[in-house]
Amino acid sequence: MTYTEAAARRMAQLREESLTDATLEELVGLMLTGAIRRQLWLMFLDDDDRMSEAIMPTTDFPEDPHEPAVVEDLGPVTAARLIADRIGRIGAAIDVTQLVVVWEREGEESFRDEELAWAAAMADAMAETGMRLRAQYLLHNTGLRVLAPDDYALDAARH
């Protein structure tokens, strides 16, 4: 069996299981192996902690999560709140209750101000949606790193 076959088999196995924090990180790490561009990955889990088939990458988000936006249904909001609102609506439509966010960008594994700001703003904004923010990760050149609340707590305190 090749590495690729073994990885595919393990991914399939994990997708059928209720995911612990460790197995969630393992699954995301198998799915996304290294950064190629700045983008945001949205992954969803159900009430039973199983990964949904719905996985959404996007490159269409501003550098600053506090960038103002005005939309008809919400009025003036920040970029993070707008994205969180839309994620909450998607979650309700596809019957999921948890969100996993992966911030992808090229470079080393140390956190940068942009992803810390986004992680803090996203945690705050998702709290208003009723959907649980299960985990946030940084996908960098050589793999995946957990972006824990302690990592972005100082940024959250500044805003």
Look at the domain 34-158 and name its fold: Cytidine Deaminase; domain 2 (3.40.140)
The predicted structure's pLDDT at residue 106? 97
pLDDT digits (tens, 9 = 90+) for 107-156: 999 999 999 999 999 999 999 999 999 999 999 999 999 999 999 987 65
The predicted structure's pLDDT at residue 48? 97
CA dist 1 → 7, 15, 32, 41, 134 (Å)? 10, 20, 21, 29, 33
Q: How does 22-45 read in b/e, with b if 16+ C-beta sit within 10 Å?
A: ebbbbbbbbbbeebeeebbbbbbb
Domain boundaries, the chain: 34-158
pTM: 0.93
The predicted structure's pLDDT at residue 22? 97
pLDDT digits (tens, 9 = 90+) for 3-51: 789 999 999 999 999 999 999 999 999 999 889 999 999 999 999 999 9
Instruction: Specify the higher pLDDT residue, 2 or 134.
Output: 134
